[in-house]
Amino acid sequence: MNRPTNILAVLAIVFFFGVALGAAGGESLPKIKPAPEFTLTKQDGKRLDLKELRGKVLAITFIFASCTDTCPLLTAKMAGIQDRLGPAFGAQVFFLSITVDPEHDTSAVLKRYAEAHRANMAGWAFLTGSPAEIREVARRYGIYYKKNARGDVDHTFLTSLVDQSGILRVQYMGVRFNPDEMLRDFQALLREEKAR
Amino acid sequence: MSNQSSEGLSRREFLKGAALAGTAALFGIHPDSLAAELPPETTKLRLVRTTSICQAPQYIAEELLRGEGFTQVQYVFKSTPGEIGKALASGEADVNLHFAGPLIIGLDTGDPVVILAGSHIGCFELFGTGRIRAIRDLKGKSVAVPGLGSPPHVFLSIIVAHVGLNPSKDINWITLPPVDSMRLLAESKIDAYLGFPPEPQELRAKKIGHVLVNTTIDRPWSQYFCCLIAGNRSFVEKNPIATKRAMRAILKAADFCALEPDQSARFLVEKGFKTSRDYALQTMKEVPYGKWREYDPEDTVRFYALSLHDVGMIKTSPNKLIAQATDWRFLRELKKELKG
């Protein structure tokens, strides 16, 4: 074989191994974009900068405390996942639930909401802010919300998983997603960190 | 047997990482450059707005599009869905939902349009008067459509051909605006009418005619997308990131229609669509908007291209159309990024 053929052969082998092993080993989650930064107020009244959580896998959801239909289902589902994460919850995985009703959902209201849904606040923060702050965060995470005539908030249900480096990796629409799949995604992201 | 050690990398992961890193290095790609999606190449996006709420996801996506970096989201008003294809081909619209049949006819005649994904299945329904008990009964009968070549005409031609009728010889096509067609159907002055949302909801509520085909539940129509997401070819080529971001917003909105039909219906009525909230809500509940991950849009293109080829409405082979006018790379990525 001449030299260019050798180089092509090496390239082909390297490419084949990459593709074949990628398929065999299960694909890693995509890297969508850096998770939009924000600083909001927690249920204890303290400010939280998203950067403070770098090094942990995050799940970011949008809810509002007086929601009586879908939000409680989402929060309950996340509480179930919280339990299944065991010791990794808080230490390696952190949940953030951001209100889309900042006029009503003060820190105190969110604290009561968190307690009612047995959220372990060692690994779960409920965040509020000024209407302008919330509007900007929602926009940047691709959330539509609007207060309707009944005083409820119409909004998209979207849970975003962010990796330890602050990269948005996957988004779950609605509340009917498979919790086992989300748990597997958390585990995959934790394994990635270990592998680095 | 697992080959994952308790600490560190498994042999397989090591080889995979090394091979991928090697491939990336050989092609001069730094790992960081694979990480993040860049802002859209353009902040302006143009879509079409018609009276049909079949394309609800792209209207509901308006706010989500802003979140994707489009500061100018413009809806070009057209009186009928039949004009969507022309708007996409001319570049008047950048990305839009459009019915599979008319889209494929446009591609056959060289429209510079690329099919990017499926949006939802079903949606249109064929209504007949009491004289019509089955599709075959339409032979020699009067069927109203907004125009020859319009989406209802194209779909209905395929439907009648499917049971052995010749659409150009066996049907007496009458061209009328939808509102007149529905009135004449109520008066039994025409024999059948193919309606798109919210028309079927209105016809059923008013007990006008009876349903001969409901493409949301009747096979084979229920096995394929009714609406596909398509883009102007030049826009997609010049703006791949913007295209993907626009698709993400529209597909998220499709999920929203399925998950929150009440909110979606309210949104459409507030946006000024001339339909009652009840009809809009029924549409959101009946049309399977949340199925874009499950069905293969390539199957849809193949099915409709074959059917249109059989009735002589296109000349290009399905495989050629798929090769030349589809681009599934954004859909593949979005399926991984956006779980439901």
Give this complex's ipTM: 0.72
Is B94 in CB contact (< 8 Å) with chain A?
A: no
Which chain B residue shows the shortest CA-CA distance from A172? B339
pLDDT score of A4: 53
Domain region containing A110:
3-195
List the single residue in A with minimal CA-CA distance to B31.
A31
CA distance B31 to A181: 26
Count CA atoms closer than 13 A to A131's CA, side-chain side: 6
pLDDT for A157 beyond 90? no
pLDDT band at B159 (very low <50, low <70, confident <90, very high): very high
Question: Is a pLDDT exceeding 80 seen at residue B36?
Answer: no
Nearest CA in chain A to B71: A139
Q: Which residues of A touch B260 (CB under 8 A)?
A: 70, 154, 156-157
Using an 8 Å CB-CB cutoff, list chain A residues near B337. 30, 32, 170-171
Identify from B6, B23, B284 which residue to disrupt to test chain A contact, counting A C-beta atoms within 10 A and taking the largest count: B23
pLDDT for B6: 32
User: Which of B7, B68, B256, B266 should we substitute to test contact with A (largest number of A Cβ atoms within 10 Å)?
Assistant: B256
pLDDT digits (tens, 9 = 90+) for B56-90: 999 999 988 988 999 999 999 988 888 899 999 99
CB-CB: which of A17, A140, A148 is closest to B67?
A140
Asked whether A107 and A44 are in contact (CB, 8 A), the reply is yes
pLDDT band for A3, please (50, 70, 90 cuts). Answer: low
CATH number for the domain harbouring residue A28: 3.40.30.10
Whether A29 sits inside 8 A of B336 (CB atoms) is yes
What pLDDT does B141 receive?
A: 93
Statement: residue B22 has pLDDT above 60 = no
| pLDDT score, position B10 | 38
Q: Please give the tally of structural domains in chain A.
A: 1
Instruction: Say whether B256 and A172 touch across the interface (CB within 8 A).
Output: no
Model pLDDT for residues A44-95, shown as the tens digit of each residue: 999 999 999 999 999 999 999 988 777 788 888 899 999 999 999 999 999 9
In 3-state terms, what secondary structure has residue B307?
A: helix
Nearest to A21 among B9, B16, B248 (CB): B16
| Lowest-confidence region among A12-21, B221-230, B327-336 | A12-21
Say yes or no to pLDDT of A160 above 70: yes
* Res A147: pLDDT: 83
Do A189 and A57 meet the contact criterion of CB atoms below 8 Å apart?
A: yes
pLDDT in tens, B243-295: 999 999 999 999 999 988 988 898 888 888 877 888 888 889 988 998 999 99
Q: Do B16 and A29 touch (CB under 8 A)?
A: no
Instruction: Tell me the mean pLDDT in the region B185-194.
Output: 92
| Distance (Å) from the alpha carbon of A26 to chain B's nearest alpha carbon | 10
pLDDT tens per residue across span B256-270? 999 889 888 988 888
What's the Cα-to-Cα distance from B78 to each of A173, B47, B50, B87, B148, rounded to whole Å?
31, 10, 5, 9, 17
Contact check, Cβ <8 Å, A154/B263: yes
Is residue B159 within 8 Å of residue B191, measured between CB atoms?
Answer: no
Kindly write down the DSSP assignment for every residue of A11-34, as one continuous string.
HHHHHHHHHHHHHHT-PPPP--EE
Residue B127 CA: distances (Å) to CA of B141, B142, B177, B186: 13, 12, 16, 10
B33 pLDDT band, cuts 50/70/90, is very low
Look-up of token digits 């230490």: A91
pLDDT score recorded for residue B247 = 97
Higher pLDDT, B94 or A67: B94
- Residue A151: per-residue pLDDT: 77
Q: Quick check: B5 pLDDT over 80? A: no
Residues in A touching B7 (Cβ below 8 Å): 194
What is the spatial distance between Cα B225 and Cα B101, in angstroms, rounded to a whole number?
Answer: 10
For every residue of B61-122, DSSP letters joined together read THHHHHHTT-SEEEEEE-SSGGGHHHHHHHTS-SEEEEEHHHHHHHHHTT--EEEEEEEEE-
pLDDT at B12 over 70: no
What's the rounded mean pLDDT across residues B21-25?
37
Interface touch A177/B249, C-beta < 8 Å? no
Give A69's contacts in chain B (Cβ within 8 Å).
none
The residue to which tokens 């009728």 are assigned: B165
- Are A166 and A53 in contact, with CB atoms under 8 Å apart? no
B28 touches chain A (CB under 8 A): no
Confidence of residue B54 (pLDDT cuts 50, 70, 90): confident
Angle among Cα B284, B226, B325 to the nearest 5 degrees reads 135
Q: What mean pLDDT do residues A123-139 have? A: 95
Residue A72: predicted pLDDT: 82
Task: Specify the pTM.
Answer: 0.79
What mean pLDDT is predicted for residues A133-149?
Answer: 88
Contacts of A144 in chain B (CB under 8 A): 60, 63-64, 67, 256
**Predicted pLDDT at B19:** 40
By the 8 A CB rule, do B214 and A120 touch?
no
Q: Does A141 have pLDDT greater than 70?
A: yes
- Average pLDDT taken over every residue of chain A: 86
The CA–CA distances, whole Å, from B111 to B59, B90, B118, B283, B297 equal 24, 8, 19, 30, 19
User: Hey, how many other C-beta atoms are within 10 angstroms of the C-beta on B36?
Assistant: 12
Residue from A146, A161, A170, A173 whose CB has the most chain B CBs within 10 Å, to mutate? A173
Contact status of B60 with chain A (Cβ, < 8 Å) = yes
Cα separation, A160 vs B337, in Å, equals: 10
The string over A6-41, giving b where at least 16 C-beta atoms fall within 10 Å of a residue's C-beta and e elsewhere, is eeeeeeeebbebbeebbeebeebbbbbeebbebebb
- Predicted confidence (pLDDT) at residue B99 exceeds the cutoff of 80: yes
| B208 pLDDT more than 80 | yes
User: Coil, strand or helix: which one is A108?
Assistant: helix
Please answer whether residues B131 and B191 qualify as being in contact, where contact means their C-beta atoms are separated by less than 8 angstroms. yes
Name the most confidently modeled range: A14-28, B83-97, B184-198: B83-97
| pLDDT given at position B270 | 86
- Hunting for tokens 């779960």 — which residue is that? A124
